[in-house]
Amino acid sequence: MTDELTISGVECRAHHGVFDFERRDGQPFVVDLTLGFDTRPAATSDDLADTVDYGSLVAAVKAAVERDPADLVETVAQRIADVCLTDRRVEWARVTLHKPEAPIEATFRDVALTITRTRGPADD
């Protein structure tokens, strides 16, 4: 059994995309995270060292999104999941990457990719 921590609406500005103007001008990206891990050790100790420090996590996720341009949102979403799974306590991570200004020739509200990644047995 795992508990869930959700962080929604992390705003980033990055230069991802397949088109030259996306790489040149950049655009907003928004990240939603849900992490599965056991919060009982932190609840018992009331110590930040016994849980996922979501402040540090958000800073690392933001840095991962804003570095090294990629062509595809799939690549960036995987990069984010990898950051989330760096903490050995995190059993799984669900990442939604929003690209609200994607270059689409239609009126739309959002483009979002959601992936879920779990820690494999070799990761323990």
DSSP label of 86: T
Report how far residue 75's alpha carbon sits from residue 72's, in angstroms, rounded to the nearest whole number. 5
62 has catalytic annotation: no
Q: Which of 94, 98, 99, 119 is catalytic?
A: 99
Output Rg (C-alpha) for the chain, integer angstroms: 16
- What is the distance between the alpha carbons of residues 18 and 3, in angstroms, rounded to a whole number? 37
Active site residues: 99
